Amino acid sequence: MKERFKKVRAKITTLLNQGLTSKELCQSIIVSGLISTIPILGVSTFMITTISLKRKLNFPLMISLSYLMWPIQILLIIPFIRLGEFIFSVPRNPHTVEEIIGSFQSSFFGTLSRLSIELLCGLGGWLLTAVPIAIGAYWVSLLFLKEKKRVNLSK
């Protein structure tokens, strides 16, 4: 049983590493986290697939993180919408997460047309908060990787 577990673990580790450098692995994690929190349900998988293929990033890792981040995406939809409404001075609408999810489940494009203002506000709130946080996290991780490389070279 332990031997089988070790083989499965080794295969998963190999799949997630896919010969990427530390920098590319870091990009995969941060881009996946950023895209996974976008406040429009159903677009993150498409965007992650497109970005990972264009930039040659680790698709299995990115899509796995995307699925793990789904609860966080749901929790952040309303705060992003409220922030966007505040920034763009749009009147507040009393939508709930359940209402938005149900609307997306019944009709994706219908929801885009019915809740377009709210979704644009959410996208604006996401752009003004999540994107700068992701950029900052990327630069901090690059500094960490450079420091780690410097420490390893001095040994």
pLDDT per residue as tens digits for the range 13-65: 666 666 577 788 888 889 999 999 999 888 999 999 999 889 888 888 899 89
* Radius of gyration for the alpha carbons in the chain, expressed in angstroms and rounded: 19
Identify the pLDDT of residue 11: 72
Q: Tell me how far apart the 2 most distant CA atoms of the chain are, in Å.
A: 60
Record the tokens describing residue 47, joined without a space.
Answer: 């965007």
Identify the pLDDT of residue 5: 77
Query: Confidence class of residue 148 from pLDDT cuts 50, 70 and 90?
Result: low
pLDDT per residue as tens digits for the range 86-122: 998 888 877 777 888 888 888 878 877 778 888 889 9
User: Does the pTM of the predicted model rise above 0.85?
Assistant: no
